[in-house]
Amino acid sequence: MNSLYYQKRLSRNIGDKFFTSLSVICALIAILPLIFLVTYILIKGGSQITPELFTLEPNPPGDDLDAGGINPALIGTLIITTIASFIAIPVGVGGGIYLAEYSKGGAFSRFIRFGVNVLAGVPSIIAGVFIYALIVSTKILFGSMYSGLAGGMALSILMLPSVIKTTDEGLKLVPNELRYASLGVGASMYTTILKVTLPSAFRSIATGVVLGIARAAGETAPLIFTALFSYYYITGFGDLFYEMGSLAVLIYNFALEPYDAQNGLAWAASFILVLSILSVNILSRILAAFTEKTKRI
C-alpha cells in the first residue's frame, strides 16, 4: 500500500531531483554568457554612439583624446560583404540547383555534398591564408597586394557552403508535383527551375542567404591579411584595390590598443555589428515561426 505513494526519501527520487537541478543549472549557465555579453555591449557600446561616429575617420592611436569615427570601416564592411555575396550567391545557388534538381544521387553529387560539409569545416583563417597565397602575394589583381577585393574573395569562400546548403535543402522541400505539373504542360527543365521551383523555395533560400551574409559580416580572421585595415575614407571605385578597413578588423586592432579612446571605438563598432547581426537573426526566427503557423492552418 505504501509503495503506491510518492516517497521523497527513496534513493531514485533523490537522484532524480539531483540530476534535474543539475540540468537546470546547466541551462542557466548556458544562457548567462549571452545575457552578460549583450547587456555589456548595449551599455558600453551604446554610450559611445554619436552622429560623428558615422561620419568621421578614426584617428591614429595615440594620446589623442578624440578617437574620431568609424565611417571607413562601416563602408568597408558593406563593400566587402557585398563583394563576397556577389561571388558566393550565384555560385552557391547555381551549385545548389544542380545538386537538388539535376543530380540523381550519384557519386558526383555525393562527393560535392561531402565537399560542401568539409569546406564548411575549414577554419576561417585558412581561407585567408589561401587567398593570401593565391592573390595577395602574387599581386595578380592589377599589381595590388592587400585589397578589399581580396578580402571579399576570402569571405566568399566562407559563405559558399552555407549558400549551397540552403539552396539544396530549400529546393528539396518543394513538392515534386509542382515539377511534374510544369514539365507536363511542356515546360523545359530550365523554365521549370527558374519559374516554378526556385520561386516557391525563394523564402527559405533568402532567409538562409541573409543569415549567411550576417555571419560573414562579423568574420575577421580571413580579412586580417587580405583586406588589412585602413584609416581613410573610401572615395571611389579605385579604392577596391587598396587596403580596406572593416568593422571586424577595427574591433580586433583597437581592442589591443592601450588607449581608452580606441577601445571605445571598438565597443561602438561591436554595438553596431552585434545589433545588426542579432536583429537579422531574430527577424528570420520570427518570420520562420510565422510561416510555420500559417502553414498549419
Partner 1 sequence: MEEKLTLFKNRKRFGIEKNIDIIFKNTALVLSSFVAIILLGIILVVFFQSFESFSRYGLKFLVTSEWNPVKDEYGAFTAIYGTLVTSFLSLLITIPLGVGTAIFITEDFVPKVFREIIGSFVELLAAIPSVVLGLWAIFVMEPFFRTFFVFLHNIFGWIPLFSTEPTGRNSFLAILILVVMLLPIVTSIARDTLNQVPKKLRNAAYGIGASRWKTIFSVILPAALSGIMAGVLLALGRAMGETMAVTMIIGNSNAFSWSLLSPGYTISSMLANQFGEADGSQVSSLFYAAFVLMILSLVVNIFAQWLVKKFSLKY
Nearer to partner 1, 86 or 114 (CB): 114
From CA 46, how far away is CA 180, in angstroms rounded? 54
Nearer to partner 1, 79 or 251 (CB): 251
Nearer to partner 1, 174 or 273 (CB): 273
Shortest distance, CB of residue 176 to partner 1, whole angstroms? 19
Strand partners, 58: 68
Shortest distance, CB of residue 97 to partner 1, whole angstroms? 5
Residues 153-191 as b or e (16 or more Cβ within 10 Å = b): bbbbbbbbbbbbbbbbbbbeebeeeebeebeeeebeeee
Shortest distance, CB of residue 166 to partner 1, whole angstroms? 14
Shortest distance, CB of residue 237 to partner 1, whole angstroms? 25
Nearer to partner 1, 16 or 55 (CB): 16
Nearer to partner 1, 55 or 133 (CB): 133
The cell numbers describing 169, all together, are: 535543402
From CA 145, how far away is CA 134, in angstroms rounded? 11
Q: Where are the alpha helices (DSSP H) in the chain?
A: 11-46, 71-97, 107-121, 124-131, 148-172, 176-184, 189-192, 198-200, 202-217, 247-255, 260-296
Shortest distance, CB of residue 232 to partner 1, whole angstroms? 18
